[in-house]
Amino acid sequence: MFYRMMMGSRSLQLLILFVCSLTITTIECSECSEVKKENPNLYNITRTIVHSAVSKGAVCLDGSPPAYYFDPGFGDGVDNWIVQISGGAWCVNVTDCKGRTKTQLGSSKYMDKLEFQGIHSKNKSANPDFYNWNKVILAYCDGGSFVGDVEYVDPATNLHFRGKRIFYAILEELLKKGLKNAKNALLAGTSAGGYPAVLYCDSFRDSLPTAARVKCLNDCGYFPHFKNPELERNWHDRFSGVAELQGAAQSLPKSCTSKMKPELCLYSQNIQQDIKTPLFIFMSAYDKIEIKYTFGDHMTPLVDAGKCSASQNQSLQEMRSEFLNALPKGDNPKLRGVFVDSVHHHNSLLKRWIPEIAINVNGQLHTEAFADWYFDRKYTYLIDETNELPLENNARLIWAVDNATARVIYNATL
């Protein structure tokens, strides 16, 4: 009898331990799930390959199908959409373009997961106006700011210049995915993606006839056409190469190419006047890429350290002056919003799209200025007139992972 009681007690203990272990495991898994939910500022999205685009000839430089990254909206944001066009400079000759075919900038074969952050953050406190929207980033793999539409493929290089087809093929898929029902929509582009956000702005609007609000944004991609040949030299060589490879004479609007050379039509300033949809421009008067491509790599550390010579500062100020003259006029900020700062940086939509390190001009944060403009709360045309020389990009966003919770901890220093 005693033995049977001991065995029964032992069995009961084992059962209790088993149940407890299951409970602990369930709690731990639940906590893991919560940890993932509590990191809304920075998260990875897997690519979506558009296989149907191949039959339309809409392919990357190497002939592989194009791709995009999609994160669905939620709550009252399910009918609102951000479609962002990626940047990544340009390839300006065959050798350059061939090199891209071995990277994600020329082939979807090399595209990995993409970090969504900034205006794509799901953190309501950091991104109150767009946190729950449908978010799309078009992968950039054509090397020519999505303008190419060249049918012929040289068998010696097997390079395809089909960026224009890529844009419309992905747009067609997104419309089927729910974009056609959008109540609010934004077409944005960063750096080399800024120009196509202007170029296709009206087409994007026309594809959404029922949308209550459709606007466009050029983020750090409004590179001016300089009148000074010394400032323009590198840009002329760059855009001439792009225009020739991508067949810009045939693919760009005749309203521009009938008036000037195709390479000049690759500057946003030369096509923006024909765009009827409201457009906003983010740009630093001392944009980091603008300075790099205008003066060379050696200028970057000099600008950051504030060690430019008097003649170099004079050239920088001339660059700034020509850029400001290339902007749309400020008489109708509802149609053409502008936010121009003086910080030596590039890209305003991603890492700097949090209150701690948002760009501040005259007490106005660039994140708030754009949201107010987009939602018709206040129309902004703001240029930093105080700083005539570049400001150091001394905002540093540092993140670390808490080993106990796996949460990303942000520490912004100014």
- 414 burial level (CB within 10 Å; 0-12, 13-18, 19+): exposed
CA distances to 197, 260, 325 from 273, rounded to whole Å, are 14, 15, 14
The b-or-e profile of 110-138 (16+ CB within 10 A means b, else e) is: bbeebebbbbbbbbeebbebbbbbbbbbb
Active site residues: 191, 287, 346
How far is the C-alpha of 24 from the C-alpha of 311, rounded, in Å?
A: 68
Query: For residue 2, how many other CB atoms are within 10 A of its CB?
Result: 6
Within 10 angstroms of residue 156's Cβ, the number of other Cβ atoms is 7
Kindly write down the DSSP assignment for every residue of 209-250, as one continuous string.
TT-SEEEEEEES------SSHHHHHHHHHHHHHHHHHHTHHH
Tokens of 327: 């902007």
Question: Which helix (H) or strand (E) covers residue 291, if one does?
Answer: helix 288-295
Rounded Cα distance between 354 and 39, Å, is: 14
Q: What is residue 18's three-state secondary structure? A: helix
Across the strands, what pairs with 48?
68
